[in-house]
Chain A
Amino acid sequence: MTTTLERNATAQIPKGGGLARRQNFGTAVVAGVVFAYLFWLIAHLTLDSTGRPFGDQVATFTGLGWLIGFWIGIGAFNGPFRWLLGRDHSHADDMYYAGQNMGKARYWKFTTDHKVVGVQYIVVTMVLFGVGGILAMAIRTNLIAPGNHFVNQQVYNSFIAIHGMVMILAMIVAVAGPWGNFVMPIMIGARDMAFPRLNALSLWTLVAAIGLLVTTLAVGGLPVGWVVMDPISNQAGIGMDFFALTIIAFTVSTTVAGVNTITTMMTMRTKGMTLERMPIFTWGVFMAAALGLYAFPYFLVAESFQILDRTSFTSFFVSTGGGTGWLQANLFWLMGHPEVYVILLPAVGALFEIAAVMSRKPVFSYRTAVGSMAGLAGLSALVWAHHMFTSGWAPTLGGPFMLTTEIISIPTGLFFLVLIGTLWRGHIWMKLPTIWLFGFMANFIIAGITGIYLSDIPLDDQLHGTMFVTAHFHYVFVGSVLFGAIAALAFWYPKVTGRYLNEYLGRISFWFVFVGVQVTFLAMFVSGLRGMPRRYASYSIIFEHTNFASTIGAYTIMIGMIILGVALVTSWNKGEPSGPNPWQANSLEWMVPTPPPLENFEVQPVITEDPYNFDKEMVRR
């Protein structure tokens, strides 16, 4: 029998030659900078500098130059232009782009192998968390005492916006990026994603977008908050133009990723992998991909309008020309609330998976689990205006939106019930992934219940714009999604590296982060209940103690995350070897060698039963 791996080994890789084969992250950055400069130069030479908002036009051109240059430099356009010219890739070309026999260099290139893309996403996520975390520490340091001026108010405002956006990007990709790429295709028995080149395009477009976002800090910042509401964002400096381009690029990234994920899961499942036999994690990724495909185009449209208003004097959001800021608010929140579930659902899917494997029980009511995720995805598209209760927009719709928002607690309760039911009377293995899972459950109760408070219009009238809201969504993102993401990292880390994530350091990290979250955000709830507004660089002395506590809590989280980072780096090469199936799980990713070979399977598997039929007598360490 000829296996795929044998055929791969015999595939001839063309020697040397070709600019395309020398493209990597370095050439992408160089090309990005060169094109940005060229576009900047062209803008200066061709645009009239006297009247229109010349600076915004130049900034937009420059940002576009960076994007186009980066895409050219990394090789994103090679495939489309080869298609155009009728010079399709040979099998050897495809294997080259998949990173065959390329060693570590493949992690710096437009590599199409889904596992390489998964690892690239891990690194990108860590970088984003690092940048966002540093900004968070700067914000909290500024707020440690009333009247403290660690940074000036303009910089503080920019830090708030960039911290928000960087962390949102990090959260969106934290689970779906690494594990939706690394393990999902293997889980369903696929050799790769349906569109490998689009997979690489998605990753590298995100990297290019991050470059634009960081640039905002160097060009005057973005002192308008990450929700970039009008009219204030229309009046912001050129950082706003880079931000808008960031969102446009990011939407391209998420759209191609969403199309790729859904197509892979719907068309590339191996024989016998029926929809009900798919590991539950894959449903979480599927729902998030579908929801992202629906939601993010609204953000793209909103930010395109923003650019047009700022560079071309259109009147989408400008009232003197017949526009309105409510249009921006609607378009933003049409994306903004589903985006919360784009972030949450992959983590929920991963936690279902972890709960089942670590308790050696099937997922409690698999259909309810899938239904709860579908319910969350569907309802999340119908609740956007609860973010606008106090804006004055369509007050008559307040009641219906309050109702839809409160109804969303039903599928939320169901997924929580599934988690508890799965763990109930199981032989729970209290390893690192399980510990973070329990942390998620504790925090998510607080996140969920405070969300119900905020969906209630009379209470929202009081709490909107206060630190209570900030504490609520940080319980969602930090207390819940981050815990889910770390649980997923600890769970699948051995599949990537062949080694366990350091259990000792991981547990220390857990307690620092868990305690830190409670101290930071419970105190923040109190600040909010006492009336402290969000986004303020300074505050009254009556909020002194709770803010001091929040800052100490934030430092505690930081220490925990640094310890986790140390564990992550040191375990990569020196961790305890785990073997191919450390959790004695049954799904396909644990059946292949570690690390999985190119194309994953020597022979195509055929599935005959679901992945949660555990042998309960199996001995565990």
Chain B
Amino acid sequence: MSIETTEPPAAGPHGEDGGHFLEPEVVDRGQRLGVWLFIGGDIIIVSALLFTYLYLRGVNTSGHWMSMLGYQGHSYAYYQNAANLPAPTLIHVKAMSAGFDWLITAVTVVTAGIIWQGERALRVTKNAKAFSSAAAFATIVTLVAIVLTVIQLRAIPEIFVATNDSQGMAYTAYDSAFMALVGSGLIHLVVLAFLGLGLTVRASRGLITGEKWYQARLIRMFWVWIAISSVVVAAVTTTINTIH
């Protein structure tokens, strides 16, 4: 291998190149690719969750996609003595509220729109203050989405089941798969809240400016993916749920 040598590149901004004096373009290109790859990994996870939802609905094991043998209306720890257990009955659950699902999705999409507009303002008009306000607003709206998602998780119906060796509140396959998708959405939103807070703080400290905007763009890319995934999940879960 024939090798020539060249001058080391100019120092990059602190904290963005691991201290290795990389050209800013190299750092930018690397971080963009890195975010795309993380999004790729996340797409696999969301796809696996959707596959689970559709697969369990498709196989509908023993006809129990949205039903389960259990005890309606009984409180937790109702049966202290397993010998007193009556025969369980088949309990059906309803599909979760489509309206509420779309409400959370709409809020998530709005947060992505706010961040996108803020980032555009930062890049085009160099308005760091507008971006800082947008990031703060998006973070607050994300917190609202988190609260709504927790409410949705708590609304997933439980069925009391009891056997000779255990008792507790159980979920049908539909509820389980739905819970996984909503839970994944909740984790995404928590990450967005962290990133949004970070953007707000960094913009207010002058670390994100009209000239140094690429971290805002990276996070916007991830934010938009979360919004898209939220729409896809809502579309699937609200149109494909019950089995007729």
Contact = CB atoms under 8 A, between A and B. Distances in A.
Contacts of B38: 255, 259
Contacts of B55: 327, 330
A406 interface: no
B15 to A, nearest CB: 3
Contact of B34 (A259, A271, A305, A313): A259
B172 A321 contact: yes
- Candidate in B59, B63, B161 with the most chain A CB atoms within 10 angstroms: B59
A191 B23 CA distance: 12
A461 interface: no
Interface string B60-87: 1111111111000000110000000000
Interface string A288-300: 0000011001101
Nearest to A271: B6
Contacts of B205: 86
A599 B33 CA distance: 22
B179 interface: yes
B29 interface: yes
Contact of B60 (A112, A304, A322): A322
Contacts of A50: 77
A51 B77 CA distance: 6
A51 B166 contact: yes
A97 B20 CA distance: 12
Nearest to A266: B33
A152 interface: no
A291 to B, nearest CB: 12
Given A90-B14, A313-B168, A3 B173 contact: no
Contact of B171 (A93, A260, A313): A313
A262 B63 CA distance: 45
Contact of A192 (B20, B69, B169, B180): B20
Interface in B24-54: 26, 29-30, 33-34, 37-38, 40-41, 44-45, 48-49, 52
B164 interface: no
B129 to A, nearest CB: 16
Given A3-B8, A320-B69, A93 B19 contact: yes
B13 to A, nearest CB: 8
Contact of A48 (B18, B60, B76): B76
A353 to B, nearest CB: 13
B218 to A, nearest CB: 12
Contact of B3 (A259, A315, A327, A606): A606
B20 to A, nearest CB: 4
Given A90-B14, A98-B19, A308-B180, A194 B30 contact: yes
B194 interface: yes
B19 A91 contact: yes
Interface residues of A, number: 86
Interface in A182-206: 191-197
Contact of B170 (A83, A94, A297, A321): A321
A262 B37 contact: yes
Interface string A132-174: 0000000000000000000000000000000000000000000
B166 A7 contact: no
Interface stretch (A413-421, A433-441, A485-493, A586-594): A586-594
A301 B1 CA distance: 45
Contacts of B1: 277, 586-588, 591, 607, 609-611, 613
A94 B16 CA distance: 10
B6 A197 contact: no
A319 B61 contact: yes
A7 B179 CA distance: 53
Contact of B22 (A84, A93, A191, A323): A191
Contacts of A539: none
A271 B9 CA distance: 12
Given A3-B8, A191-B22, A607 B41 contact: no
Interface string A329-350: 0110010000000000000000
B7 A323 contact: no
A85 B161 CA distance: 47
B197 interface: yes
A603 B14 CA distance: 21
A604 B61 CA distance: 61
Nearest to B195: A84
Given A51-B76, A604-B9, A607-B3, A89 B41 contact: no
Given A53-B166, A89-B14, A255 B59 contact: no
A266 B194 CA distance: 28
Contacts of A195: 18, 30, 34
Contacts of B34: 194-195, 259-260, 263
Nearest to A89: B15
B59 A326 contact: yes
Contacts of B201: 84-86
Contacts of A262: 33, 37
Contact of B2 (A258, A259, A322, A608): A608
B4 interface: yes
B78 to A, nearest CB: 10
A573 interface: no
A23 interface: no
B64 A322 contact: yes
B48 A297 contact: yes
- Candidate in A193, A194, A304 with the most chain B CB atoms within 10 angstroms: A194
Given A85-B201, A319-B61, A321-B172, A591 B3 contact: yes
Contacts of A331: 48, 52
Contacts of A3: 8
B56 interface: yes
B125 interface: no
Nearest to B34: A263
Contacts of B60: 322
Given A84-B197, A255-B41, A605 B5 contact: yes
B18 A327 contact: no
B102 interface: no
Contacts of B166: 51-53
B21 interface: yes
B117 interface: no
A284 to B, nearest CB: 18
16 contacts: A88-B207, A94-B14, A97-B19, A255-B41, A267-B30, A308-B176, A314-B176, A315-B68, A315-B173, A321-B173, A322-B62, A322-B66, A324-B59, A588-B3, A607-B2, A610-B1
Interface of B: 1-9, 11, 14-16, 18-22, 26, 29-30, 33-34, 37-38, 40-41, 44-45, 48-49, 52, 55-56, 59-69, 76-77, 161, 166-177, 179-180, 194, 197-198, 201-202, 204-205, 207
Nearest first, the 7 closest Cβ-Cβ pairs linking A and B are A94-B19, A88-B15, A322-B173, A322-B64, A313-B170, A314-B176, A52-B168
